[in-house]
Amino acid sequence: MIALLLRDLRLAIRSGGGFGLGLAFFLVVIVLTPFAVGPAPAGLAAIAPGVLWLGALLAALLTLDRIFALDWEDGSLEQLALVVPLEGLLFVKALAHWLTTGAMLALLAPVLGILLYLPQGGALPLFLGLIIGTPALSFIGAFGAALVVGIKRGGLLLSLLVLPLYVPTLIMGAEVARRGAQGMPYDVPLALSAALSLFALAIMPFAGAAALRASLR
């Protein structure tokens, strides 16, 4: 499993599909936001938690179709399915996606928050919310990617499938950042974000494995 994880990390970095594309998209969203809504610090500070979380969600969504795409195209997905339990395979794929996308976004977001005048007290809650909440995005996304594997141009379908499942994580994560920026306690939405991620870690590998079995038949 560790060898498979290292392999997926190398592929993500080399191809740019997970490591580069998502981060570049996130950067563009944050940089362009002041041009769209105006440069007023008070206005930007008010929307900063939501914009940062929405940008992170869309950046993660942008890279989901590559979780299984490369292995499907070269035929290695079928070979991996013969030697690795599909539940373990999906877990490793989702973990690699989170390490190259979600974790990187969590590190980058507080820095980019400066461009949106995010209050200083909101940086730590934003980081905690992202580092705890984004695993749910990756594991739910891996389940969605397993559903559409092998479907040509399945990116749009994948987005339609997983976006409704992303909404609770988006609400809780943005609430953590908003409360932190306002100096309010944020332990309850942070705990709910952790619960959502734990639920996704426990359920989605099995659901995704079932979807992969159907796709590989």
pLDDT of residue 189: 96
C-alpha closest to that of 114 among 204, 206, 41, 35: 41
Mean pLDDT of the chain: 88
Give me the number of domains the chain comprises. 1
Query: What are the tens digits of pLDDT across the range 147-189?
Result: 888 777 667 788 888 999 999 999 999 999 999 999 999 999 9
Alpha carbon distance 197, 139 (integer Å): 8
| Separation CA 91–CA 133 (nearest Å) | 16
3-state secondary structure of 98: helix
- Which pTM does this prediction carry? 0.91
* DSSP state string for 139-192: HHHHHHHHHHTT-TT-HHHHHHHHHHHHHHHHHHHHHHHHHHHTT---HHHHHH
Structural domain harbouring 85: 2-216
Characterize 192-204 residue by residue with b for buried, 16 or more Cβ atoms within 10 angstroms of its Cβ, and e for exposed: bbbebbeebbeeb
Per-residue pLDDT 10s for the chain (217 aa) are 777 788 777 777 666 555 678 889 999 999 999 999 988 999 999 999 999 999 999 999 988 887 887 777 766 777 777 788 889 989 999 998 999 899 999 999 999 999 999 998 899 999 999 999 999 999 999 999 988 887 776 677 888 889 999 999 999 999 999 999 999 999 999 999 999 999 999 999 999 999 888 877 7
What's residue 18's pLDDT? 55
Determine what percent of the chain falls in helix, strand and coil, rounding each to the nearest 5: 85, 0, 15
Residue 22 pLDDT:
84
- 18-54 burial by CB neighbour count: b if 16+ within 10 A, else e? bbbbbbebbeebbeebbeeeeeeeeebbbbbbbbbbb
- Alpha carbon distance 172, 196 (integer Å): 9
Name residue 100's amino acid. T
- pLDDT value at residue 21: 82
**C-beta of residue 93 within 8 angstroms of C-beta of residue 142:** yes
